[in-house]
């Protein structure tokens, strides 16, 4: 927990959290969410090879693409967990309340850890 708080404070010091937060992060999420369903179709040259595997051409390695997609999903989930923490720690609450709110966010991150196994 202390390492997580230290890393969030480090990000906050360099204003990376505020810079990444709204626009860029939303673009990244939408880009990879759009790319996954279109990957099978547009990952083949020519596109018709997706439906007709015997046709000459090639397709991207689906297993590697799935690993990339899963990694991006993990990174965005982790970022969604880390983004609100600097705001929580700036609230005028007691340390006990701040830790409680952080634990609520951490409960959501447990889903990410379970999903990865």
Q: In this structure, what DSSP letter does residue 1 have?
A: -
Assign 22 a pLDDT band (cuts: 50, 70, 90). Answer: low
Angle between helix axes 62-82 and 2-13 (nearest 10 degrees) is 90
**What H or E segment, with its residue span, contains residue 42?**
helix 23-42
pLDDT at position 53, please? 85
Give the Cα separation of 89 and 86 in Å (integer): 5
Give the Cα separation of 107 and 81 in Å (integer): 10
Verdict on whether the full-model pTM lies above 0.85: no
Assign 5 a pLDDT band (cuts: 50, 70, 90). Answer: very low
Q: Where are the domains of the chain?
A: 15-82, 84-117
Give the Cα separation of 19 and 11 in Å (integer): 10
């Amino acid at each position: 927990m202390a390492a997580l708080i230290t890393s969030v404070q480090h990000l906050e010091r360099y204003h990376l959290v505020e810079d990444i937060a709204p626009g860029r992060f939303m673009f990244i999420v939408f880009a990879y969410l759009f790319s996954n369903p279109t990957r099978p179709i547009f990952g083949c040259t020519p596109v018709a090879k997706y439906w007709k595997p015997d046709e000459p051409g090639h397709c991207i390695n689906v297993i590697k693409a799935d690993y990339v997609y899963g990694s991006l999903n993990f990174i965005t989930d982790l970022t969604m967990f880390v983004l609100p923490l600097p705001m929580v720690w700036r609230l005028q609450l007691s340390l006990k309340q701040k830790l409680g709110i952080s634990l609520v966010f951490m409960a959501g991150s447990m889903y990410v850890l379970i999903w990865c196994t």
